[in-house]
């Protein structure tokens, strides 16, 4: 079982070894909810890594990231790049689904700072093994995890910044945010995302 601090400063020989250890993670209290670990999936040698916030309810059921409605939006964005999810590495800042109970029902919530910090070892190992040429960070939580706690998506979205180990990081809106919008805000956000995807295409020289 992984305990907080046990693997700090250490690394794993393979991505499969990272996955096996992450599946038993106890580094924060999220495991107590009974939700499953949702590790990254896709091409372990991908040029593009996509990092979201946390597993959704659908992800918790399937064990795969971006399984629900947000995944459908993401698939459309990848198609805009001429890519499929099998050609990228998909993951999240935290690997357990964070929830809050309201009126007797579980609802998603953003990961807390200490939860993201506890899970940072897994994201760092994914970056080290996949070695992407670019990371697409979806939403503010992913931006903070990759760029720093002062990251603000309203100010730094759509700009290629420097992430861990000098990997380029580009942040855009999270698909779940897009799904909550109504016109005309929806059209404006979709326009900005298309601009961001065009920058991804230029950065990776995807044609």
The pLDDT assigned to 11 comes to: 79
Phi then psi dihedrals of residue 48, to 5 deg: -120, 125
How far are the Cα atoms of 37, 44, 65 from residue 40, in angstroms, in the given order? Answer: 10, 9, 7
Pairing of strands 99-102, 105-108: antiparallel
The pTM of the full predicted model, rounded to 2 decimals, is: 0.93
Q: Tell me what the mean pLDDT of segment 19-42 comes to.
A: 94
Lowest mean pLDDT among 60-74, 101-115, 170-184: 101-115
Structural tokens at position 115: 């939860």
Token pair 């939860």 is found at: 115
Query: Which residues, at least 6 apart from 148, have a Cβ–Cβ distance to it below 8 Å?
Result: none
Provide the pLDDT for residue 2: 40
Query: What was the pLDDT predicted at 6?
Result: 36
pLDDT of 121 higher than 90: yes
Confidence of residue 10 (pLDDT cuts 50, 70, 90): low
Where is average pLDDT lowest: 3-12, 50-59, 80-89?
3-12
102-111 per-position pLDDT tens digit: 998 999 999 9
Give yes or no for residue 16 having a pLDDT over 80. Answer: yes
Residue 53, pLDDT score: 97
What pLDDT shows up at residue 7?
A: 42
pLDDT at 33: 87
- As a whole number, the mean pLDDT across the chain is 93
The whole-number pLDDT of residue 202 equals 96
CB-based contact 114:72 (threshold 8 Å) = no
Tens of pLDDT along 33-47?
A: 878 999 999 999 999
Q: What is the mean pLDDT of residues 166-175?
A: 97
Q: Which two tokens stand for residue 90?
A: 């998909």
Where are the chain's structural domains?
15-204
Q: What CATH fold (topology level) applies to the domain 15-204?
A: Uracil-DNA Glycosylase, subunit E (3.40.470)
Distance CA 191, CA 58 (A): 27
Beta strands 134-138; 168-172: pairing state:
parallel
77/179 Cα distance (integer angstroms): 13
């Amino acid at each position: 079982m992984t305990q907080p601090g046990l693997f700090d400063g250490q690394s794993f020989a393979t991505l499969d070894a990272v996955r096996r250890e992450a599946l038993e993670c106890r580094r924060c209290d999220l495991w107590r909810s009974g939700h499953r670990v949702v590790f990254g999936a896709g091409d372990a040698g991908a040029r593009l890594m996509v990092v979201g916030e946390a597993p959704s309810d659908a992800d918790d059921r399937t064990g795969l990231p971006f399984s629900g409605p947000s995944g459908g939006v993401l698939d459309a964005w990848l198609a805009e790049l001429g890519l499929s999810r099998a050609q990228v590495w998909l993951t999240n800042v935290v690997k357990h689904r964070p929830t809050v109970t309201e009126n007797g029902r579980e609802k998603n919530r953003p990961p807390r700072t200490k939860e993201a910090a506890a899970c940072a070892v897994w994201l760092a190992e994914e970056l080290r093994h996949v070695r992407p040429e670019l990371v697409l960070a979806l939403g503010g939580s992913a931006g903070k995890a990759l760029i720093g706690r002062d990251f603000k998506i309203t100010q730094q979205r759509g700009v290629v910044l420097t992430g861990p180990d000098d990997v380029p990081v580009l942040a855009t809106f999270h698909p779940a945010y897009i799904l909550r919008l109504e016109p005309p805000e929806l059209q404006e956000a979709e326009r900005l995302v298309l601009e961001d995807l065009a920058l991804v295409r230029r950065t990776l020289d995807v044609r």
